[in-house]
Amino acid sequence: MTRSNPRRTALDILLRVERDRAFAEQLLDRELSLGTLTGPDRGLLTELVYGVLRRQGTLDFLVDAFAASRSGKLERAILVILRLGLYQLFFLDRIPASAAVNESVNLAKAVAPRAAGFVNAVLRRADRERDSLPWPDRGADPAAYIAVRHSHPRWLVEQWIEQLGIPEAEELAVAMAEQAPLTIRVNTLKTTREAFMEELAAAGITVEPTVWAPHGVRILSRTAVTTLPGFAEGLFAVQDESSQLAVFFLDPQPGERILDVCAAPGGKATYLAQLMENRGEVLACDISAKKLRLVAEAAARLGIGIIHTMAGDATKPGVGAGEPPFDRILLDAPCSGFGVIRRNPEGKWWKTPDDLARLAATQRNILAAVAPRLRSGGVLLYSTCSTMVAEDEDVVDDFLSRHEDFVLEDLNVIFPDFSGQFTGRGHFRSWPHRHGMDGFFAARIRKL
């Protein structure tokens, strides 16, 4: 086994994710940048890593069904090898069952030779008995069925059922287990969406405009972002449609002064500047000075000159201190990320219901700390990439109950053409299964 073997590399990455709670995207980017994997092997590595993380709950159910030892009792490396083999058997049609089994046994021989026979027996039994799986009873326990069949933590599925009902919760669970689309935002400081789409089409790349976001383009061809035409020239930035819309609903205007509170890595800050026609000022703050360098790099690539950065803890009142009040504030709060688990699937296995209360407390503190930085009559947009009411509506309602000089604005009234994206109370809430974009929430608050 060498670094040129995509299955061994996938095993190493997945073990790092398990052991260190490292993010798969960063580990994959680092590995692919080495150039030791070429051609289809690069795609296979990405498929295996993300596929196993997305389907981990289902794969562990399969281990429990076909192995003598429960998944929770197995040595970590053996469990991950079984996950890799079962993912190839059950979710990758183009890989023959014999290859999935044999390659997994070879992995075991290299990592834990004593377990090679065990891995072989489990995978061969799984292939032989795949049509007689004891799935949970859908009628008697729909949450267990959805959780196991579509691979999400049961407690998360229960939250979705409470919000959406059983049928739609399952639709969401299906969507959340699939690969997320690649969406970019055209930099209208340098080109137009129509002109850039023509440039992409001329390069043989299949694209389509986003349905709601006015500057978004969805890339339908399988391609690396950095190889797209116009990347070095700053003609676009990667940003999901839902994230673009959150900035759009703040409605930044040229010449204004805007505070972007949790700004790194800079997608929203640069879109603010773009909508402002690169006129005015955007103060991008983040607790990490290192991550703020990403904001500066993004602004430089896109040709934006109005973004300034400042490191600081947004839970403390000092963020933006010494500055005149801002016309608008964008607070994209740190959250559970349950709206983007298609992109970061490892996160759904790390978090528990207790984390929601901890995150909501931080979100309330940040909102209370930054709101005084807004001028009278100014607008603050609170957003998260979460589907959880505890991080979204509950945080906003708590803030409004304590601050009588702020009111919730109804996005249905301000943006009537986008009403399909809004709740009855006027919040922005997008769902992958409804809207084809990440799960996102935003509330627009005005200071009286």
Residue 299 in contact with residue 269, Cβ under 8 Å?
A: yes
Q: How many residues can be counted in the chain?
A: 448
CA angle (290, 228, 282) in 5-degree steps: 40
The DSSP letter of residue 422 is B
Q: Is 406 left (phi over 0), alpha (psi -120 to 50) or beta?
A: beta
From the candidates 262, 285, 335, 385, which is the catalytic residue? 385
- Measure Cα distances from 404 to 180, 332, 424 in Å: 40, 22, 22
Give strand pairing partners of 284. 260, 309
Q: Is residue 262 flagged as an active site residue?
A: no
Give strand pairing partners of 443. 382
How far is 140 from 373, CA to CA, in rounded Å? Answer: 52
The helix/strand/coil state of 292 is helix
> What phi and psi, each to the nearest 5 degrees, are found at residue 336?
-70, -25
How far is 273 from 276, CA to CA, in rounded Å? Answer: 5
The helix/strand/coil state of 215 is coil
Say what angle helices 40-54 and 24-33 make with each other, to 10 degrees: 170
Place of tokens 């090679």: 116
In this structure, the number of other CB atoms found within 10 A of the CB of residue 137 comes to 10
* Interacting residues of 326 by C-beta distance below 8 A, sequence separation 6+: 257, 258, 259, 283, 320, 373, 374, 375, 378
Give the pairing type, strands 257-260 and 281-286.
Answer: parallel
Q: Is 230 left (phi over 0), alpha (psi -120 to 50) or beta?
A: left
Residue 265 in contact with residue 295, Cβ under 8 Å?
A: yes
How far is 97 from 103, CA to CA, in rounded Å? Answer: 10
Order of strands across the sheet that contains 207-209 = 207-209, 216-219, 182-186, 236-238
Q: Which residues are catalytic?
A: 385
